[in-house]
Amino acid sequence: MSHLPHALNYRNYLVSLGITCPELLNNIAQEPYINAIFRAHFKFSNSLNMSEDEEQRIWEQLDCWNKVSPIKGAFIFENVKYRLNTLRLSLINSGGLPSAELFKPELGEGSTTLPLAEGEIFATLVDYLVNEMVSGHE
């Protein structure tokens, strides 16, 4: 089964929280994809870098997902790379992990914190996406 019903459910959840700006809604709706790629990376690699082969597989998966429903592939990929690099640099510079804020979607200036990357709706979508990455499906 495709992740599409779960992606739509997550978007509806975001709207129910009052996120109605189309650009903001679209950016935040990319978070499960970022989370899934990040999770899959550490599931199959114990590296804080990505190999060229892994990058190619990620781009292929992003292309598959984009065929199901439009996503922002470059935005997703750059966020994954940014988070990996930030994690790596934090460990190099301080020996500790960065703030958990790094892994939360941004709402913009002056916004309050909302449970955007928490709960069953988000977790279910991420699980589907990770499974699709493992099986190579969309």
* Cα dist from 78 to 34, 58, 59, 75, 86, whole Å: 9, 11, 11, 5, 12
In order along the chain (138 residues), what is the average pLDDT of each group of 10 residues? 89 89 90 93 88 94 93 96 90 80 60 67 94 82
User: Can you give the pLDDT at residue 98?
Assistant: 76
Query: How far apart are the C-alpha atoms of 38 and 42, rounded to whole Å?
Result: 7
User: Can you give the pLDDT at residue 104?
Assistant: 64
Assess contact for 45 and 80: CB atoms under 8 A: no
Q: Quick count: other Cβ atoms within 10 Å of Cβ 60?
A: 12
User: Can you give the pLDDT at residue 11?
Assistant: 93
User: Can you give the pLDDT at residue 44?
Assistant: 86
The pTM (predicted TM-score) of the whole model is 0.87
User: Can you give the pLDDT at residue 76?
Assistant: 96
Q: Quick count: other Cβ atoms within 10 Å of Cβ 88?
A: 14
Distinct helix (H) and strand (E) counts, the chain = 6, 0
